[in-house]
Structure 1
Amino acid sequence: MDSLITAAARALAAGDPLGALNRVALREDAAALALRGIAMAQLGDLPRAKALLRGAARAFGPREAVARARCVVAEAEVALASRDLNWPPAALAAARRTLEAHDDHHNAGHARLLEVRRLLLIGRLDDAERLLTEAAPMTLPPPLHAAQALIVAGIAMRRVRTQAAREALAMAASAAQRAGIAALSAEVESAAQLLAAPAARLIARGVERPLLLDEVEALLASPALIVDACRYVVRAKATSIELARRPVLFVLARALAQAWPGDTPRDALIERAFRISHADDTHRARLRVEIGRLRALIEPLARIDATQRGFALTPRAAQEVAVLARPVEEKHAALLAFLADGESWSSSALAIALGASQRTVQRALDALAAAGKAQSFGHGRARRWTTPPVPGFATTLLLPAPLPGD
């Protein structure tokens, strides 16, 4: 490898893309194309970066398997940064195996971290943890150490393990400082801000207040009966009853929990659960059926008693009843939570992340755009959607995956 390529590579490792381009901007050999692609990615020109990296992969000969695999890893990182979740993960896994077979452990570790980041982004926490723990112990350079710690922190925050998240973020900050890369330090700081922002709302005894993530953790560890409107479950201590696929029953459970220790009128339950303003006998009959189904499901945790004007929730062991809700609730809130990360998303990537059809997501995006809550740029397959981050708005930390439809 010649001196210019070596110097450009060192500049990129130090987070100096302009210094790297000064050395290889006019060269068209495979190594220079790869370095130019990485430099353009660091500068934010992701389409140009992707084209250069693909050109570099084609330019490397069949005997240069390691160099081609490194190009695939770099292209996967660009795809992840541009939220191109349709980029084939199997290609990244194959590149990682190639690098491991040739003892390029650092780049193989980078490829594994990219795989884990993609799984974390789409909410597959179990798979992300498994892949992360399968990696052989090794000493990572500071940038990769920071990236790994950020992933560990992200998993811990979504598992609502606040102390573990803080420890991982401290490790990430230390590693980013050693790396001396400003963009990496900014990413760590952005992740740390999530711990200081409201993650949910508590609704209990007619009072609402925002909760930080550590307060959510304390609530979940308490003996209270909790109707979790972030993950659509009813829980108390170690018992959890999922209602994500029973939206009508969940609406009823939440209405009863919010009225506790009082009762909820029948007409109010009908209006909330069935979205009907004027109830008749058929609606009241349907309400009795749905209340019976809910009563059977949550029987281990609470009773539902009929009152003169409606129904009341009575916990069996808990002394308190609380509703855990998103910081802001509105139609398409889950979609806005993903857009609020400040990145540009394609409708297909959002469909993968949400576990919904692309057409459903597109209709929701059109509705948000008409309301001025989202904006797009580009056309056709290059169209991307974004919205500026809104202080206090919903985050993805407590969202399940796949998400139930809004």
Structure 2
Amino acid sequence: MDSLIAAAARALAAGDPLGALNRVALRDDAPALALRGIAMAQLGDLVRAKALVRSAARAFGPKEAVARARCIVAEAEIALASRDLGWPAKSLDAARATLEAHGDHLNAAHARYLEVRRLLLIGRLDEAERLLDGFDPAPFPPASSAAHELIVAGIAMRRLRTKTARAALVRAGRAARHAGIPGLTAEVESAVRLLDSPAARLIARGEERLLLLDEVEALMASKALVVDACRNVVRDAGSVVALATRPVLFNLARVLAEAWPADVPRDTLIARAFRMKHADESHRARLRVEMGRLRTMLGALADVTATRRGFALVPRRASEVVVLARPVEEEHASMLAFLADGESWSSSALALALGASQRTVQRALDSLAAAGKVQSFGRGRARRWMTPPMPGFATALLLPTPLPID
């Protein structure tokens, strides 16, 4: 490795992409192309960065397996930054194995972190934890330690383990300051702010208030009967009933919970659950059928009793009934939650993260764009969608599955 390449690599490791480009901007050999690609990625030009890294991978000879593996890892990181979540995980795993076999443990660890971050983004927490389990970041530089602790904190937030998350963020902040990379320090500070931002909304006895994540954790551990509109489940301290595939039943349960301890008139239930402005006898008959189904589903948690004017929810063990909802609720709220992280997303990445078809996602994006809530740039496969962050809310916690059910 010549002196200019070595100096550019040190500049990139210190978070100085302009210093790296000053040394290799006019060179077209494989190592320079790779470093230029990483520098452009740090500067935010992800399209150019991806092209340069791919050119570098092709330019390295067949005997330079480690260099090509590093290029694959760099391309995966660029894909993650551009929210292109469909990149082949098998290629990254093969690159990680190559790096480990040749003793490049630092870049192998970086490859592992990229895969864990991808799993975290798409909500596959169990897989992310298994991949991270037992991994010790101690032998690596402070920047790697900070990245590790950020991932630990991210998993803990989604598992509602706020003490674990705060401790991990303290360690991440210490490592980021030691690394001296401003961008990394800013990422840690942003994560810390999430813990002090509203993560959910509590509705009880006709009143509403915002909850921080640690308050949500305390609520889930309490003896209250919680109708959880973040995951469409009903739970108390002893059991959980999932109604994600039964939207009508969940809507009925939520209306009853919001009115508790009072009952709800039949016409109100029909309007809220069936979206009917005017009820007739067929709707009332359907309401009786659905209430029977809800009574069966909630049998271990609560009873649904008929009153003179409607129905009421009567918990069996809990002394209180509450509704837990997102801080902001509107159509396509889950999609807006992903877009509100400030990054640009492809429609295919959103489809993967939401578990929906790309056509469904595209229709929703077109609707949001028509309402001025999102904007796009680029064309074809390069088209990306984004929206400014919602100030004052923990947008990273508004994922479709942010809360545990067991």
With the shorter chain as reference, the TM-score category is over 0.9
Write the distance in 1 (CA, Å) between the matches of 2:374 and 2:137. 43
1:51 is aligned to 51
Establish whether residue 252 from structure 1 lines up as the match of residue 260 from structure 2. Answer: no
Q: CA deviation at 1:248?
A: 0.5
Aligned length: 403
RMSD (CA atoms): 1.4
Secondary structure in structure 1 of the residue aligned to 2:133: helix
The unaligned stretches of length 5 or more in structure 2 are: none
Could you give the per-residue CA deviations for residues 266-294 of structure 1, whole angstroms, max 9, x where no partner exists? 11111111111111111111111111111
Could you give the per-residue CA deviations for residues 80-108 of structure 1, whole angstroms, max 9, x where no partner exists? 00001121111111101111111211110
CA contact 2:69–2:96 (8 Å) conserved in 1: yes
CA contact 1:254–1:323 (8 Å) conserved in 2: yes
CA contact 2:153–2:166 (8 Å) conserved in 1: yes
For 2:110, the aligned partner's letter is H
Could you give the per-residue CA deviations for residues 169-222 of structure 1, whole angstroms, max 9, x where no partner exists? 111101100100000001111111111111000000101000010110111111
For 2:310, the aligned partner's letter is G
Q: CA deviation at 1:137?
A: 6.4
Could you give the per-residue CA deviations for residues 20-63 of structure 1, whole angstroms, max 9, x where no partner exists? 11111111111111111111111111111101100111111111
2:379 is aligned to 379
1:9 is aligned to 9
The unaligned stretches of length 5 or more in structure 1 are: none
Q: Structure 2 vs 1, CA of residues 358 and 394 (structure 1 numbering), >3 Å: closer, same or farther?
A: farther
Write the distance in 1 (CA, Å) between the matches of 2:4 and 2:204. 65
Could you give the per-residue CA deviations for residues 139-165 of structure 1, whole angstroms, max 9, x where no partner exists? 121111111100110111111111111
2:205 is aligned to 205
Establish whether residue 68 from structure 1 lines up as the match of residue 80 from structure 2. Answer: no
Secondary structure in structure 2 of the residue aligned to 1:84: coil
Secondary structure in structure 2 of the residue aligned to 1:40: helix
Secondary structure in structure 1 of the residue aligned to 2:395: coil
Write the distance in 2 (CA, Å) between the matches of 1:392 and 1:277. 35
- TM-score normalised per structure 2: 0.97
Write the distance in 2 (CA, Å) between the matches of 1:192 and 1:382. 32
2:281 is aligned to 281
Matches within 5 A, 1:190-339: 190-339=190-339
Write the distance in 2 (CA, Å) between the matches of 1:320 and 1:346. 43
Write the distance in 2 (CA, Å) between the matches of 1:281 and 1:87. 54
- TM-score normalised per structure 1: 0.97
Write the distance in 2 (CA, Å) between the matches of 1:7 and 1:144. 20
Write the distance in 2 (CA, Å) between the matches of 1:320 and 1:264. 17
Q: CA deviation at 1:383?
A: 1.1
Write the distance in 1 (CA, Å) between the matches of 2:393 and 2:180. 31
**After TM superposition, what 4+ stretches of structure 1 lie above 3 angstroms from structure 2?**
134-138, 398-403
Write the distance in 2 (CA, Å) between the matches of 1:31 and 1:400. 41
Q: CA deviation at 1:138?
A: 5.1
1:116 is aligned to 116
Write the distance in 2 (CA, Å) between the matches of 1:333 and 1:156. 23
